[in-house]
Structure 1
Amino acid sequence: MKFKRISFLLLVAFLFSFLFSSFSFFKKVEILAQSDETTNLLQEKQRLEEELKKLEEEIKRYESDISKTEKQKRDLKNAISLLKQKIESLDLQIKANNLKVKNLSFQIDDTQKSINKTSQAIEEKRKKLAEILRTIYETDKKSPLEILLSEDSLSSFFDDLLYLENLNNKNKEILETIKDLKVSLEKQEEILSQQKKGVENLLKIQILQQEESKRMQEEKRELLKMTDAQYQKLLSEKTSLEEKAAQIRKRIFELIGVPKVPTFGEAYQLAKEIEKITGVRPAFLLAVLHQESNIGKNVGQCFLKNPSTGEGMEKNSGIPISNVMNPTRDVPYFLQITKSLGRDPYSTPVSCPIPSVGGWGGAMGPAQFIPSTWVNYAPRVSQILGRPANPWEIKDSFLAAALYLADYGAAQKTPQAEWQAAMIYFSGSTDPAYSFYGNQVMAQARRYEEDIKILEGQSLTSQKTAGVFE
């Protein structure tokens, strides 16, 4: 009998040892697998960063070549060569932007894993805390006399009291740990939010790069159809200023979120009046609004449908879309804005979110203000116009955009001040990662400035600036 008991105990010990060693083995395998995954991710990130560095160096070389070509004789051959260099440089910028998106996506994955680990640690601590609280609760139901009578000795009674005191100390320790973990979790979630916003901004840059690529490809096709004589004629002043001005004035100035799109002439007259109020240069204001409309028309228009979740649907197709508007930051203001204007909030168009990013849509009208930003400028717009500010009205949106840009230095009218204001308008910062936006605004402003010189230099005076705000 004694032998059987010893054999049984040995068997139990063996099984326990085997199970423990198996657990340790699989745990080591899991740790090694995680280590390999981390190493692979780091290697991939390093590869992306090296590739990005090479692309940026190549882009700089192209910029140097472009600068040299621009100083050469203005003939058809050089014009085509210059355009080709710009297209190739833009292609490299698009590749670089794609690498930035990939790199940021890796960072998002890392941050998400950290959030998951922290959340798991908080949950484990909560369970331990619940166990301790249950034990304390059960003990507290008994009086000290009951505990004393239930124990075999006075020593056991004091052991119980000491154990209870230790539980209370452990309880405090776990609570402090949970607090620290929650602070860490909030920081990680803020980092994740910033990283997702970064991807969203890079994808918007991608939209603008694609639009610019289309424009330059079309320009290249037109140049390739010309002879050198035709090109020189184009450069000359053969076409009268009146004819050129008429063409520019009638050109459609594309805007997002308005029922009637203005002509360039109408948009310019409005921008001139707004310059008197804000000090913001018309060509610069129009360039910013042009960029915003390019983004807006590409991400599409949506309707909010569920104010609690921010879900909605695509305006034309009716396809359900999540993240149409931030339910805590923007929806309350959006409902307030639409109510004050007598608009139906569920059939008023706002921008759709960029798919697969996890950010929010909800930008309103031509200036693409989100509701929580619009409410900061609406009182100033209302005071100037003498009526409630409406983000879907062209006058209101132009004025609000100009006030915003002026607040960030655009009224100084220097290239650096305007570039910085445009960057802040786009992303709230002057992060070099988004410099394409600022550069494109300034390039577009230069093109508009040439158009404006023609409009101002011609003799026709049929378009008057008075009464724009009447």
Structure 2
Amino acid sequence: MILIPVFGIGAQTPEEEKRALEDELKKLEAQITQYEQDVTKTKKEKQTLQSRIQALKGEIQKLDLQISQGNLMIRDLGVQIKDTEKSVSTTEQQIGRYRERLAVIMRRLQGENQKSLIEILLGENELSDFFSNFVALERLNVQNQKLLASIKDLRGYLEEQKVSLADEKEDLEKVVSVQLLQKQRNVAAQKEQQTVLKQTEGKEQTYQQLLATSRQKAAEIRARIFELIGVPNAPTFGEAAELAKYVETVTNIRAAFLLAVLTQESNIGKNVGQCYLKNPDTGAGTIAYNGKTVSKVMHPSRDAPHFLRITKELGRDPFGTAVSCPIPTVGGYGGAMGPGQFIPSTWVLIESKLKAVTGGNVDPWSIKDSFMATGIFLRDLGGVTNEWSAAMKYFSGSSWSKYEEFYGNSVMALANRYQQDIEIISQ
């Protein structure tokens, strides 16, 4: 459920409305935290599902290859079995022919054995011819017996090979059947995971929408709270601390560090400049308290055009609005505006970000706007993680000499003191 703030209900005083909005903001921030956790959780679930789906896809592809390989092997074994059956059949035919030959030889041998001596003497020219013929038949019989035994061995081997190939083919068919079953299970699991993934993606999108809506409402409440904070042009430390603590909730810039930078720049709004721009074409101007002409009050091309636009939009007199004077010992130009001492060309860089927070027009001379602008700028300079470096960049840009490091050191010393003060007044 999204809590929608309603501003200005009934006859609330600004302070009552501010407290009510702060309570509402706490609830929204709790919701935002929960939605962020939900988004993170669903993202992890989605990643896990995507990984599982990818793994199943790989397993299915692997099984497809194994099944194809198995089917090829089964077909090859089938061919081998047919060839073996053909060889067995040919061997059987050979065995039959050799048996017939052996039968003929055996009959002839038997016939020779049954002849009487008279038949042998009368039937043969010589006795030696009879014995030679008999011995030849015996030798042929032995050779045929050996060949028949060899062929029978071959038949036995082929029969065993046929059985072995058939068993191997049957085992392989079982493996392929199991692989097909596993593939079906993996495909079903993949479809189920894809369905869950779609549901998870839908949940993530819903949480993202809720998170975006909650963040938008929180931003609206923060802008209204910021609008309700009433501080004078030069606030007391307690007022400045409250404002800085609020800026910290938006920018994550430590309140004590923010106050230290603003103290270093303008003594928290008490010294916003002592010069007036008089000639935007040259950047020359005057000192406010004595009217003395000063050159380099503002950079004529980099800053003056922006300054004229800013003051015009705010209804300010560009030639009667105080800006910082140039520092003779340092060189360069003056022209910094308001408590945050932004030069116009830097102000325009963060102007849109500041408007996004405050929800309206912004003024570099406003205490509230300058506090928030300084917090945003310090955040962009890396001040959340490295305060000293951000302070130096605020003062000197991206590079500085060791002689300028006094600024960062002074800011950090002030920040340490302010941190103690804030902790005391917060008790």
* TM-score when normalising by structure 1: 0.40
| Structure index of larger Rg | 2
TM-score relative to the length of structure 2 = 0.44
Pick 1 or 2: higher relative contact order, CA cutoff 8 A, min separation 6: 2
